[in-house]
C-alpha cells in the first residue's frame, strides 16, 4: 500500500506510522527523521534544514521533493510505503503525484489523524521532555501549528478532493488509534 499520513504536529503520525509499517510490511519514510539524520551527520542539507526547522518553518519544496524522490527510487518501496511528514504543502502534494505517476505508483490512501489542539500541546510538551528535541519549544510549537494551519491543512483538502482522504480520531491510546486506522485501511482495500 502507498499511504500518506497527515495531521498536525504532535498528532501521533510518527508513532502510528512506526506501528503501521510493522502491520503492513512497507517502509516508513519520515521526512523529519531523514532531516534529523542529515543534520546529525552534518551534511550541508542537514545543517541548512536544521536551521529552518529549529525556527518552526518548513524546509523549501525543492529540497524536500528532491530528497523524497531519491528515497522513493530505492528498491525497498516496490511493495509500498508510508510517507510521514510529506507532503506538507499542496505544491509538494502535486509534485509527489507527478513523481509517483512517472513511477506508475500513485498514492492509494491519505490518512489524517484528527486531534484536539489542547491534547497536541500536552503531547508535544511530553515529547520535548522525554526526547530533548530542540524543535519542540513552546514558541516553536506555536509557530509549527500556525504554519500547519496555513500551509499543510490544505493538503488534506487536496486529497479529499481526489477521494483519497480518510480522517481518523487521534484521541485515546496508541493501540486504539492503530486499530481505527487498520479498520479504515481494511474497508478501503475492499472498496478498491
Catalytic residue among 71, 94, 105, 127: 127
- Active-site annotation holder among 2, 88, 123, 180: 88
Q: Is 74 a catalytic residue?
A: no
Judge whether 156 and 13 are in contact, CB under 8 Å.
no
Given a contact cutoff of 8 angstroms between Cβ atoms, the answer to whether 148 and 7 are in contact is: no
Annotated active-site residue in 2, 50, 144, 180: 144
Give me the catalytic one of 2, 13, 36, 180: 13
Catalytic, 167? Answer no
Instruction: Decide: residue 57, CB within 10 A, 0-12 exposed, 13-18 middle, 19+ buried.
Output: middle
Q: Which of 94, 105, 133, 167 is catalytic?
A: 133
Task: Report in angstroms the alpha-carbon separations of 178 from 16, 29, 61, 84.
Answer: 6, 18, 30, 15
Rounding to the nearest 10 degrees, give the CA dihedral for residues 23, 14, 51, 43.
Answer: -20
The residues carrying an active-site annotation are 13, 88, 127, 133, 144
Amino acid at each position: 500500500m502507498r499511504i500518506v499520513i497527515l495531521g498536525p504536529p504532535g498528532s501521533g503520525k510518527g508513532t502510528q506510522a512506526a506501528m503501521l509499517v510493522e502491520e503492513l510490511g512497507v517502509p516508513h519514510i519520515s521526512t523529519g527523521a531523514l532531516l534529523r539524520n542529515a543534520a546529525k551527520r552534518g551534511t550541508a542539507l542537514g545543517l541548512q534544514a536544521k536551521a529552518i526547522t529549529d525556527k518552526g518553518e518548513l524546509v523549501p519544496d525543492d529540497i524536500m521533493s528532491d530528497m523524497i524522490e531519491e528515497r522513493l527510487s530505492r528498491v525497498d518501496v516496490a511493495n509500498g510505503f508510508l510517507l510521514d511528514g510529506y507532503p506538507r504543502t499542496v505544491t509538494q502534494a502535486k509534485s509527489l503525484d507527478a513523481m509517483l505517476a512517472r513511477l506508475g505508483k500513485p498514492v492509494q490512501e491519505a490518512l489524517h489523524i484528527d486531534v484536539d489542539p489542547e491534547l497536541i500541546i500536552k503531547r508535544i510538551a511530553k515529547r520535548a521532555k522525554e526526547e530533548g528535541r530542540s524543535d519542540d519549544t513552546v514558541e516553536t510549537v506555536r509557530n509549527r501549528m500556525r504554519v500547519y494551519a496555513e500551509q499543510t491543512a490544505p493538503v488534506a483538502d487536496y486529497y479529499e478532493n481526489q477521494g483519497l482522504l480518510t480522517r481518523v480520531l487521534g484521541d485515546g491510546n496508541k493501540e486504539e488509534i492503530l486499530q481505527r486506522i487498520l479498520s479504515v485501511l481494511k474497508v478501503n482495500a475492499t472498496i478498491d
